[in-house]
Amino acid sequence: MLLLLRPKLMKRKTFIQNTITAYLGLMITPALLSSCRKEDLLPDSNFSGKVIIIGAGAAGLYAGFILKSLGIDFTILEASNKAGGRLGKLTDFADFPIDLGAQWLHGRNSVLGDLAQNSGTAISVDNSEARYWFNGGLVATNPLNWDFEDQDNLPDVSFLAYAEQNGFGAEYKFLVEQIAGDFGADSSEISAKWTKAEEEEWNSGETDYKFQETFFDLIDKNITATISDRIHLNTVVSKIDYSGDQLTVTDNASINYNADKIIITVPITVLQDEDIEFVPALPAAKTEAFNKIGMGAGMKVFLKFSSKFYDENIGGGEICAAYADEITGKTGNDNILLAFVMGKQAEYLTSLGSDLEITNALLSELDNMYDNQATASFMDAHVENWTTHPYIKGAYSFSTIGIGDARSIATESIDNKLFFAGEAMNINGHHQTVHGAAETGYREVINLLKSE
């Protein structure tokens, strides 16, 4: 979702069959819906009931968009005060708009790649270069040469353990963290075996793009705006009763909402923490699968400087393993450096307790790299800590050691009543991405229609 400096870790499959994916069939975009008959794109169904969607992130919004196109009654219940989930926009910090959450479009061969093209959204290829902090200095070539492409049967061990097994000592630790962080985790927690296995299913393209405006705008203007009247904000779901034919969702104000089907799109952390009570309780295999899917700490810190003393990308920092020049793909003059912090590095910065302390820790590291130029030219900072968002609680899902088929089990519907979507529920390698979340929203609408 937030890919920054990931080296070419493995060879992704080339995109085949145009916009056909292994499990989705023809992808649906607003342009397709306006130019094609809906019955040509979705399965026949006699469903005419009410659907409740829990969560107004990309999966929930896209599911709602499809349901509206079919004339099916639905309501989206969103716990926070805005739609978009892990998408967000900062407009008063720089002279160009900033994505607070997801900001890279990973390949154009996807439902959101089509949406960007059909809506005339301006995007550009991110060809920015990187330097790496290694043994007390910045070097132009990554000293950590990861080569998974020709290796089969990778062990189900952490990235860190795998690096150590291949002779990379402690001096490479934070370069390993940079790679692991891009995959959403700390290097001690993410599986080499399952990360490669899932990555091999990737088929949306190899190139990363930046938005001239924001990723948030793409979704907000083209999807959210079309269904905004169906979204109930500040509605925290506390209970789902699916014991009878009529399903009941209860919020924390004890208001009940009735439905015939429910699509659940909340972050995996919400399910793991059992923030929603299910009646009857979900099967043990289901909850065990939830708990095998990882989602670690993550934050983005935007640092504003009076001068551009830094490189386009910096990898391998001890406090933050990945920095990126925020101006890439934008039109503006302000000097904004993004600190993209994941895993235990994000946990450490969170433990400092205040935005000021977080900022000072990052400035200290940058001063060390750039001869005290960071503090000398520092102007302002904005900290977006996704770990402390009460309805997010982390960055995005990753593949833990021993994850196995947990995503597939987690995705399975319950009694043809409850359907599960969201980036963590993507089983074709597109988890961690906004387009992967949207794919699951569409997938679960199809499953819902087929359940009748």
Q: What is the CATH number of the domain that holds 80?
A: 3.50.50.60
What is the model's pLDDT at position 145? 81
Does residue 322 belong to any structural domain of this protein? no
**Residues with Cβ within 8 Å of residue 241, at least 6 apart in sequence:** 247, 248, 249, 250, 279
pLDDT in tens, 125-165: 999 999 999 999 999 999 998 765 567 789 999 999 999 99
Does residue 155 belong to any structural domain of this protein? no
Give the dihedral of Cα atoms 37, 40, 43, 45; nearest 10 deg: 40
Does residue 432 belong to any structural domain of this protein? yes
Residue 273: CB atoms within 10 A of its CB come to 11
Does residue 167 belong to any structural domain of this protein? no
pLDDT in tens, 370-401: 999 999 999 999 999 999 999 999 999 999 99
- Say what the pTM is: 0.92
Measured distance CA(413)–CA(409) in Å, rounded: 9
Q: Which residue type occupies 208? A: D
Question: Which residue range(s) make up the domain with 418?
Answer: 20-85+214-294+402-450
Does residue 227 belong to any structural domain of this protein? yes
| Closest-CA residue to 123 (of 208, 206, 203) | 208
| Closest-CA residue to 55 (of 431, 424, 429) | 424
Does residue 440 belong to any structural domain of this protein? yes
Does residue 289 belong to any structural domain of this protein? yes
Using CA atoms, how far residue 118 sits from 18, 111, 259, in Å, is 16, 11, 34
Does residue 260 belong to any structural domain of this protein? yes
The two tokens of residue 50 are 């009410």
Q: What's the whole-number mean pLDDT along residues 412-427?
A: 98
Question: What φ, ψ does residue 287 adopt, rounded to 5°?
Answer: -65, -35
| Closest-CA residue to 207 (of 340, 109, 323) | 109
Measured distance CA(199)–CA(332) in Å, rounded: 35
Based on the structure, what is the number of domains in the chain?
1
